[in-house]
Amino acid sequence: MDAIDRALINRLQDGLPLTSRPFAAVAAEPAMAEFGLDEDMVIGRVAALREAGVLSRFGPLYNAERMGGGLSLAAMAVPAERLDAVAALVNAFPEVAHNYARDHALSLWFVLATETPERVAEVAAAIEARTGLAVRLFPKLAEYALDLRFEA
């Protein structure tokens, strides 16, 4: 990552302007204008950061609970030889926001976001049925906002 990428990531964490051309608006902001970016360059850099795996996800962040939905962190103890196959099965559920492997007894972690709070348990049960493995739910007790900033 160069200084432009770091500045762009920092800026994008504050959200996108609600306009028909948000990337053009970002490029025109004083903090970004010093880099001489235009709309296509901003889009290209975001795409390159995604392709390189620097950004694992780029998209809106919804608060499922405020919209009447359910949300829970979940984990499974998956045998190492089944990790990829089980992760693929878990990812097939549209309620799974993302998953990641951990070097721990609970080796596969994922987030469930559902249309109703009751649906969290239903989806967890469906994942158990599909994989033959128990799903442990860790509902949110408190909310924390993390802010990762890079020195430009």
What CATH number should be reported for the domain holding residue 135? 3.30.70.3460
C-alpha to C-alpha distances, 90 to 62, 73, 74, 96, nearest whole angstrom = 20, 13, 11, 7
Shared-domain flag, residues 41 and 95: no
Shared-domain flag, residues 75 and 39: no
Which residue's entry shows tokens 């992760």?
87
| Digitized pLDDT (tens) for each residue of the chain, 152 residues in all | 899 999 999 999 888 999 999 999 999 999 888 899 999 999 999 999 999 988 877 877 777 788 888 999 999 999 999 999 999 999 999 999 888 999 999 999 999 999 999 999 999 999 999 999 999 999 888 877 767 777 76
- What confidence score (pLDDT) does residue 152 get? 61
- What confidence score (pLDDT) does residue 20 get? 96
The answer to whether position 90 is within a domain reads yes
CA atoms within 13 A on the CB side of 78: 27
Distance CA 145, CA 150 (A): 17
The answer to whether position 145 is within a domain reads no
